[in-house]
Structure 1
Amino acid sequence: MEFHLFLLLTCLSSLAVARTPPPSAVWSVKDTRTGGYCVLAALDAQFTIYFNATFPAAPNTTHIAPSHALTLPSTANVVQDQSYCDAGSVLAPRQRIVLQWGTYKTNLTLTFAQDPVTNTTTIKEVQLQYDLNDAAIFPDRTPLENNIVTAVSSGQIDTIPNHMYKQCLTGFTTLLKINGEKDLNATMAWSNVRLQAFRNQTTTTFEGNADVCQGDQHLTTPTPFITSTAPPPLPLSGAFYNLTYPNGSQCLMVHFDLGITAMYYKKDATVGNGTIASVNNGTINHTLSWCSENRSMLVIEEFLPSWRLKMQFDNWSGKAYMSMVQLKYNLHTSWKFPDADEHADMWMNATSLKRWSSTLGHSYKCLTRQDTLKLDTAGQRAVESMTLYLGQVKLRAFVPYNETITNGTQTWGQEEECGMDVLTNDIVPIAVGCALAALVVIVLIAYVIGRRRNRARGYESM
């Protein structure tokens, strides 16, 4: 009995430890008017920054390279004269914390805004400022006149109910756009996050209940769809694309077979019809692709010269789905569109979509039906219509950050099949059932006929 009680207490204590936030540094901003702390921040962060670098063997050639590991150390200091508790207006107050570290004074700024109408606090903006002179992080960089670079988030990061604090131990990723650069960006991978603003306590303890992010739900609630079995085999045709978190685990897994058909304008003012049956040799542009807790972007290039496919995936109300497709194309780069009149790069969109929807944590699967997606032709001068055909589809988006990886692979989770796949899977058992039913009917008929013949013979013998 004592041994069982000891074992139970040990298990409970281990669970409590697993759910307790790690003892990371807690940074704070003090309100000089009241003496209380208005902002508390505890987090780990790792940054991937893309920059123009020079090949040592070819000094006149540049390429885009990711930075070496840039992390937020626990020894970072709060820049008190740049942090504040009382900016903005009465109707839209703002608070800010600025962290600084390193010889080259790297700065991370988190700005919070309060909405009195919705009674929420918004993580309004994230800004990273760094120095390209730091050769340990940016080797072989291309010399610039101004080495101080700023990268800023686009749009709000998250919201927190007032009198609560945000907790996201599993983490998420935020895209940061580098000022003055069209094709360069940075990503910030958050983890072990606890944030609280618009407070006035004299202690640096997070007050109230935790507003837990989606990725942390599995820390307290079992997720039966995560298994240790190997993923099912991929379809026979198509291509597999995936995006990963900084720890190497996958945040987005998608497989599809892409076909393209266009009714395009020719030089002789007629309309041609061009079709590319299967385009599955694309590569991911990791500079433009990214993952976050509620939205992910996959950018595929090089399947045709000067063509680019952008696919946006959203997480809303417990559902993961594809919400937008954008296609950059140039008809002149493919022999499938002979005598095309327009030679310039063009863009087409399909927005407000809700395709390939599945419950968060599950995966979508549709191998038998081809998904037809017509792009918006408004303002197009090169094509009359453009249609994408997407078949052999499997999608799992917003995979938890620290999901168990077995034998170097991650599972597709529980699959949610489209109607045609369900029908196809049911055909065999239905056919077998019908055959058995027919056999039973035949046996019954034979039995009845046999009985009648036996009776007739009995009467004749009498």
Structure 2
Amino acid sequence: MALLSSKQLLLIGMTLGLLNTVCAVSFEVKDEKNTTCIKAELSANFSVQFEQSDKNMSIAMIVLPEDAKVGNLSTCGNTTTDPLLVIVFGAGHELGINFSSNSSTYMVKTLVVTFNLSDSTVFPNSSSKGQVSYSTNSVDIQAPLNTTYRCMSIQRVMLKNVNITFSNVRLEAYLHSSNFSKEENVCSADIPTTAAPKTTQATTPSPTTAPLPNPTPKTYNVTNANGTCLLAKMGLQLNITFTPPSENKTESLLLNIQPNKTTATGSCGSQDASLVLSDGSVTTLTFMFMLNNTLKKFFLSGVTVDTIVNAAEKKFHAENNSLSYLRASFGKSYTCKAEQTLLVSSDFSVNAFDLQIQPFGVHDGQFSAVEECQLDEDNMLIPIIVGAALAGLVLIVLIAYLIGRKRSHAGYQTI
């Protein structure tokens, strides 16, 4: 049984955080007098590790849907019971937020998530059935009484086998009215920080290398037992910034991926796929893709590069597994003829040219219908706008000419 490490699970949780495109969902808990005691607005994503029937571990990715509701177990509490917000969603899934307070502060005391492993849509081929719950009391959410807690930034909570990514959070417990309090307690992640001035001598970047010609596109494919499962056509250029040994300056390197020297390998899963491009000796470039079953969207989630950057054979490595590029609908291919720059880290980016890619749902070894990138759509709009403007200008000149001609004739009278 291949287990996923906590680091891998965290990276998937981070990716889900970047994927969060769902608006915050609102919830209210009321007492028997119909008075609101808990009010919350939040977005949440879940990555859940579970065992499939073949004993392999898989990851379910769930986005808190807009139709999530307040569950019947929610309560305003009393002298012996703490306030509790239970959010129910999907086919038997729940998120429970239990509050407590002292004389001046309220806080999230316990966070509990429950998932229904019998939901085959979310947990396909799960070896277990029924509900499973995970909880933690290590949640950094608190605020003074009569104050709204606010955190628009991403917050992550790690539980055993589960990562939760919160964002767009506004909540308040022990409310005395139906609205949030005007006073807000803002989380530290939302407070801008000012970088301290550097005391070290700044390095002087050397001029960048001369621009290279655009790389030649090539079609790469990954196959499994069912045939071609991933297709990618693209020209790739690596943009690297590095500091040579014993030099107090940075250098830039542009490197084209040579199609005739590059081989493709990789893997395809139900929710993840990879494309590994290698020239066999110097450069290995890996693309990781993920599929969100809830949104029915795939995206580029990670990029890793290993190469050599100078004659001294200085090794360069960059990696980022928290990306959200090249997004398109499942069953379609993402295409972008315009040059795209995929920023991976502060010292590495990938320039992609004439790109078409489909990591999931490939049939008969052919690309499916395309979804164009925003850059291509904008490029198509420009000539349309210019043409419309020119047509409007010609029409204005023509109208002005006709009006002027009519007035000149009106100045002559018959004798």
**Smaller-chain TM-score bracket:** 0.3 to 0.5
TM-score (norm 1): 0.43
